[in-house]
Homo-oligomer: A and B are copies of this chain.
Amino acid sequence: MDLEPSPLAQPFPDMPQIDGIMLRVARAGYKNWDRADLTFIELAEGTALAGVFTRNVCCSTEVEMGREQVVLGRARALVVNAGNSNAFTGHRGREAVEQIMAQVAAHLDCNPSDVLVSSTGVIGVPLPKDKARDGVAAALTADEVSWEEAALSIGTTDTFAKGATASAMIGDTRVTLNGIIKGSGMIAPDMATMLGYIFTDAAVDPAFLQQCLTAANRRSFSCITVDSDTSTSDTVLAFATGKAGNPLLSSFDDAGADAFMAALDDVCRQLAHLVVRDGEGAQKFITVSVQGAVDDDSARRIGLAVAKSPLVKTAIAGGDANWGRVVMAVGKAGEPADRDKLGIAFAGHWAARDGLPLPDYDEAPVARHLEGREVDLTVDIGIGEGRATVWTCDLTHGYISINADYRS
């Protein structure tokens, strides 16, 4: 299916090279399409690795193995297959992953466990070993490609290439962070789901990189939803080559660690937003800010309950400032809340406060705000200091068309 670019699409940014990272792609032909669908990223020796993965119990072999590899904390290569998720394929799927790892390890003279593999696409069909073998062989010796080409190559039903970049000073060394991502949130046809990769030339201890990625994930990827369906393949990996030559970062006490964390937060948030902007059928980018909850985690759960509510998302799609539906969604979150302290605002205009509609609430400026592409919704729980921001898109006919009208 060829989809028009999302109306919320953003241009691919200028992304600098990162020392110790080489990008190559090949045409494995996992689907009947005319494009690169196997991405091979070579990482310098000594690259530190961190990762976060889906909590879906029925996760793919790639996710299972990735979890084990992250514990080791080292990586030499990443292979991403597009068009076949290799999920729910039993031992045959596992053999295909092990074949790729062995093939790349032989070429790089490293351990197979240093080779990370990700796959997204159709479920229940084992990754074809012959196509994988030929594709990897071609990729190993292919010319290097740009970040944008790599971002296109990992995509499946994405409507635009997604990348983000940031930098930070560690002492007097400038380090760069680049990220690429694919997916339309937690959900897309054929289980083609979210895969994100962040690369940096910073020298970072693997355990500390994991600590930073876990924290950044909690404030970015864990704060987005397109339609609440959590995939079997979701993966975010971070690779640090160390080539920038900064003093090794191993804790937040180190000089520059806060700057690195801020840059990682920045890249992760940019990437997460891009996924929402490519949400299936999305016409509006919605920011839900929750304040006054008992704590930040509670605020995030309330925000996600609002962001997942089909009633809220269809109301916004229709340009309807239906704050009653927001009340419902807050109430169903199961978090501490007091109906009589609740406040709701669109773009800073309060529709309700202290559990009551405001008598002088003027819907006209709110209606104008809802006609735009970016919608801001604030929920004040009114009982504490907890805050969180989550992001989602509206629920439209385009979502139904993509998922029901076409056979996948």
Indicate whether A403 sits within 8 Å of B314 (C-beta atoms), given known contacts A191-B325, A328-B231, A332-B229. Answer: yes
Cβ of B339 and Cβ of A57 under 8 Å apart?
Answer: yes
Note all chain B residues with C-beta closer than 8 A to A322.
190, 408
A222 nearest CB across to chain B (Å) = 14
Residue in A190, A322, A328, A357 with the greatest tally of chain B CB atoms within 10 Å: A328
A68 within 8 Å of B (CB atoms): no
Minimal Cβ-Cβ distance residue in B for A60: B339
A340 near B90: Cβ-Cβ < 8 Å = yes
Which of B88, B332, B404 is the one whose CB lies under 8 Å from A352?
B88
> A406 at interface (Cβ–Cβ under 8 A)?
yes
With beta carbons under 8 angstroms apart, the residue of B228, B339, B408 that contacts A310 is B228
Which of A90, A190, A308, A403 has most chain B Cβ within 10 Å?
A: A403
Q: Of all chain B residues, which has the CB nearest A400?
A: B397
Q: Are B320 and A407 in contact (CB under 8 A)?
A: yes
Judged by a CB distance under 8 angstroms, whether A324 is at the interface is yes
A123 touches B331 (CB 8 A): no
B58–A311 CB distance below 8 A = no
How far apart sit A405 and B395, CA to CA, in the bound complex (Å)?
A: 11
1/0 per residue, CB under 8 A from B, across A124-154: the answer is 1100000000000000000000000000000
Q: With A and B bound together, what is the CA distance between A91 and B318 in angstroms?
A: 31
* Inter-chain contacts of A408 with B (CB < 8 A): 315, 320, 322
CA distance A328 to B123 in the complex (A): 10
Q: Max chain B CB contacts within 10 Å: which of A58, A124, A228, A356?
A: A58
A100 contacts partner chain B, Cβ-Cβ < 8 Å: no
A164 and B129 CA atoms in complex are apart in Å by: 57
Among residues of B, the one whose C-beta sits closest to the C-beta of A354 is B90
Residue of B nearest to A407 (CB): B320
A75 → chain B closest CB, angstroms: 25
Q: Annotate A371-408 by CB proximity to B: 1 below 8 A, 0 otherwise.
A: 00000000000000000000000111101110111111
Asked if A299 CB lies within 8 Å of chain B CBs, one says no
Q: How far is the CB of A213 from chain B (nearest CB, A)?
A: 22
Number of this chain's copies in the assembly equals 2
* A355 is an interface residue with CB less than 8 A from chain B: yes
Is there an interface contact between B311 and A227, defined as CB atoms closer than 8 Å? yes
Contact B311–A403 (Cβ < 8 Å): yes
In the assembled complex, which residues on chain B have CB atoms less than 8 Å from the CB atom of A55?
332, 334
Task: Knowing A230-B332, A310-B228, A352-B88 are in contact, say whether A404-B396 is a contact too (CB < 8 A).
Answer: yes
Instruction: Give the docked Cα–Cα distance between A319 and B320 (Å).
Output: 31
Query: Is A10 at the interface (CB under 8 A from chain B)?
Result: no
* Interface 1/0 per residue, A334-374 and B, CB below 8 Å: 11110110100000000010011100000000000000000
Q: Among B90, B319, B323, B336, which residue has its beta carbon within 8 angstroms of that of A355? A: B90
Q: How far is the CA of A317 from the CA of B232 in the complex (A)?
A: 22
- Kindly list chain B residues whose C-beta atoms are within 8 Å of the C-beta of A342: 58, 88
In the bound complex, CA of A397 to CA of B402 (Å):
11
| Nearest Cβ on chain B to A8's Cβ, whole angstroms | 17
Query: Which residues of B are found within 8 Å of A399, using beta-carbon distances?
Result: 310, 314, 400
Seen from chain A, the residues whose Cβ lies within 8 Å of a Cβ on chain B are 55-59, 87-90, 122-125, 187, 190-191, 227-232, 308-311, 314-315, 317-320, 322-325, 327-337, 339-340, 342, 352, 355-357, 394-397, 399-401, 403-408
- Listed A/B pairs (12) with beta-carbon separation below 8 Å: A55-B334, A57-B336, A90-B340, A123-B324, A229-B325, A232-B327, A311-B403, A318-B405, A318-B407, A320-B407, A320-B408, A395-B404
Q: A88-B356, A90-B356, A394-B404 are in contact. List 17 more A-B contacts (CB 8 A).
A: A87-B327, A88-B352, A88-B355, A90-B340, A90-B355, A124-B327, A124-B352, A125-B357, A191-B324, A227-B310, A231-B328, A314-B400, A314-B403, A318-B403, A318-B407, A320-B407, A395-B400
